[in-house]
């Protein structure tokens, strides 16, 4: 059997690597139109940082895992083609700022129709609006060959991709349950996952349920973060501590304790895009009340980022002009080099508007990426890219922690404090530092949702 995956990104790359590892008898070709990205997958410095990924790529690459730009040949030779290209929020025309831009998915479907000399199973791996499979099906039907379209959304979280892929909570496969051919395509894909995923974790549904489940799962996860973040504002106003509230609330097994960490806001390529898409769909199907409900989740996230940045500015006597701020972490979460929709981007831009000097340190994000995200030229004195947190904190008025990289917990804060301006502030946007210890060292502190700290 041969598998082809179009799109060698954060989803396609790791997912196919794990499939190749688990199924040595299957040849997996990961193709992409971006030659630079493919070259990186074929090098020692992979384009995606994920703990544990490099080791598996090294074991499989060149054996049954191949990265290439020869999209046509890989599609034609495959029995199963995964579509894992990006589906950004549309920036133009109808649905701009809300709907998903499906042009890459459509062009993949057209490409499959054009180069295939035999029917195949086509799998939507990208997160897509409900009923996208119809579009793909229609395009493929013009070939006269037998294609089956499946939806198999990916639930991996960045930073834990390998673990999530090796031991997923569930694998979801949607297909045409009404026909023999549809059911057998679902079973064929299920058979691949069943080699390492227990059967009771493989959920089979119709196409539309599968497509909608992915949007809904991300909306629910984002909603939990906006819920706790909304309460963090109330905690700060009342003297309650959001971590204590989250622990008390989350120990109700009906609610559960995960995903209740108050923060500077959620980031990442999925939550914002998928919520906007869900809202767009609700409006499209004339369900304005439902759209408004989910719109609140998006608005609280924007509010939280703004609220945090304003808290920093307020604490620094409403004047950060010319002040050095050490930015600890720029990725949207720990253990990834990804900055898409990172709260750090909006927060740093607000600081730059106030004419602060930013000294940024992130263990994995490149200088080029940070400058691009902040829309700042190389050499601009307003943004300094630092090689260590110690360098960033030197002469800084404040440390602004935006990503919960583990290494920030165990720094020599005594040494850091002595190198900083006085008073030395720490704004812990992830509540991940030891506030009691830092208070003892003489830092002024502000966490998220901790009304009793000053």
Residues in the site for ligand UDX, rule: CB under 6 A? 6-12, 32-34, 37, 84-87, 104, 107-108, 125-127, 154-158, 218, 221, 225, 259-261, 263, 266-271, 332-333
Which tokens hold the place of 205? 């549904």
Dihedral sign, Cα of residue 110, residue 116, residue 120, residue 126: negative
Which tokens hold the place of 37? 């990205």
430: left (phi over 0), alpha (psi -120 to 50) or beta: alpha
Query: How far is C-alpha 278 from the chain's CA centre?
Result: 17
> Do residues 10 and 32 make contact, with C-beta atoms less than 8 angstroms apart?
no
- Name residue, tokens 């499946």: 150
Cβ–Cβ contacts within 10 Å for residue 195, how many?
11
Our answer to whether residue 270 is catalytic in this structure is yes
Residue 388 CB, nearest distance to ligand UDX (Å)? 23
Residue 11 CB, nearest distance to ligand UDX (Å)? 3
Could you give phi then psi for residue 40, rounded to 5 degrees? -65, -40
Cβ-based nearer residue to ligand UDX, 343 or 389: 343
159: left (phi over 0), alpha (psi -120 to 50) or beta: left
Which residues face 66 on adjacent strands? Answer: 29
288: left (phi over 0), alpha (psi -120 to 50) or beta: alpha
Residue 36 CB, nearest distance to ligand UDX (Å)? 9
Residue 308 CB, nearest distance to ligand UDX (Å)? 12
60, 270, 348, 432: which one is catalytic?
A: 270
Query: How far is C-alpha 168 from the chain's CA centre?
Result: 17
Cβ-based nearer residue to ligand UDX, 232 or 357: 232
Residue 432 Cα distances to 1, 5, 311, 401, 409, angstroms: 47, 38, 18, 9, 7
Residue 87 CB, nearest distance to ligand UDX (Å)? 4
Half-sphere exposure in the Cβ direction for 199 (13 Å, CA): 2
Cβ-based nearer residue to ligand UDX, 261 or 357: 261
- Name residue, tokens 């395009």: 139
Residue 295 CB, nearest distance to ligand UDX (Å)? 18
Which tokens hold the place of 424? 């030395």
- Report d(CA 197, CA 194) in Å as an integer: 5
Cβ-based nearer residue to ligand UDX, 13 or 175: 13
Cβ-based nearer residue to ligand UDX, 35 or 237: 35
Query: Which residues, other chains included, contact 440 with Cβ-Cβ below 8 Å and sequence gap of 6+?
Result: none
- Report d(CA 300, CA 339) in Å as an integer: 20
Q: Using the 8-state DSSP alphabet, how is residue 177 labeled?
A: T
Residue 158 CB, nearest distance to ligand UDX (Å)? 4
> Do residues 10 and 48 make contact, with C-beta atoms less than 8 angstroms apart?
yes
Q: Nearest residue by C-beta to ligand UDX?
A: 9
Cβ-based nearer residue to ligand UDX, 6 or 162: 6
- Name residue, tokens 């008025």: 397
- Name residue, tokens 């009923």: 131
> Do residues 396 and 369 make contact, with C-beta atoms less than 8 angstroms apart?
no
Cβ-based nearer residue to ligand UDX, 9 or 389: 9
Residue 374 CB, nearest distance to ligand UDX (Å)? 18
Cβ-based nearer residue to ligand UDX, 313 or 432: 432
Residue 70 CB, nearest distance to ligand UDX (Å)? 12
Which tokens hold the place of 426? 């720490």
Which tokens hold the place of 232? 């963090």
Cβ-based nearer residue to ligand UDX, 6 or 99: 6
- Report d(CA 284, CA 291) in Å as an integer: 10
Catalytic residues: 270
């Amino acid at each position: 059997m041969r598998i082809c995956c179009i799109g060698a990104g954060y989803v396609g790359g790791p997912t196919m690597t794990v499939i190749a590892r688990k199924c040595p008898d299957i040849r997996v070709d990961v193709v992409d139109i971006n030659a630079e990205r493919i070259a990186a997958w074929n090098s020692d410095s992979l384009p995606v940082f994920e703990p544990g990924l490099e080791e598996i790529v090294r074991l499989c690459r060149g054996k049954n895992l191949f990265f290439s730009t020869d999209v046509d040949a890989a599609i034609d030779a495959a029995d199963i083609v995964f579509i894992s290209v990006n589906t950004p929020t549309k920036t133009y025309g109808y649905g701009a700022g809300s709907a998903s831009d499906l042009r890459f998915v459509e062009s993949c479907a057209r490409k499959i129709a054009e180069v295939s000399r035999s029917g195949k199973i086509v799998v939507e791996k990208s997160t897509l609006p409900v009923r996208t499979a119809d579009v793909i099906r229609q395009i493929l039907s013009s070939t006269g060959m037998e294609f089956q379209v499946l939806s198999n959304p990916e639930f991996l979280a960045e930073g834990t991709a390998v673990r999530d892929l090796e031991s997923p909570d569930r694998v979801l496969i949607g297909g045409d349950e009404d026909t023999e051919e549809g059911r057998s395509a679902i079973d064929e894909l299920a058979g691949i996952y069943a080699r390492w995923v227990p059967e009771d974790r493989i959920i089979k549904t119709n196409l539309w349920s599968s497509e909608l489940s992915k949007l809904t799962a991300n909306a629910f996860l984002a909603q939990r973060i906006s819920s706790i973040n909304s309460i963090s504002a109330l905690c700060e106003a009342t003297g309650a501590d959001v971590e204590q509230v989250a622990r008390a609330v989350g120990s109700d097994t009906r609610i559960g304790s995960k995903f209740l960490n108050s923060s500077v806001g959620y980031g990442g390529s999925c939550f914002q895009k998928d919520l906007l898409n869900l809202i767009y769909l609700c409006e499209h199907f004339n369900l304005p009340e439902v759209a408004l409900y989910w719109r609140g989740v998006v608005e609280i996230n924007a509010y939280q980022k703004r609220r945090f940045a304003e808290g920093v500015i307020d604490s620094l006597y409403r004047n950060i002009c010319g002040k050095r701020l050490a930015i600890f972490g720029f990725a949207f979460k720990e253990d990834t080099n990804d900055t898409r929709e990172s709260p750090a981007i909006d927060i740093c831009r607000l600081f730059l508007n106030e004419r602060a000097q930013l000294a940024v340190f992130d263990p994995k994000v490149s200088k080029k990426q940070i400058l691009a995200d902040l829309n700042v030229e190389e050499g601009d004195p307003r943004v300094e890219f630092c090689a260590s947190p110690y360098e960033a904190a030197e002469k800084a008025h404040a440390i602004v922690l935006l990503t919960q990289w583990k290494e920030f917990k165990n720094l020599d804060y005594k040494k850091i404090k002595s190198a900083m301006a006085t008073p030395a502030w720490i704004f812990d946007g992830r509540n991940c530092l030891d506030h009691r210890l830092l208070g003892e060292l003489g830092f002024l502190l502000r966490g998220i949702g901790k009304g009793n700290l000053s």
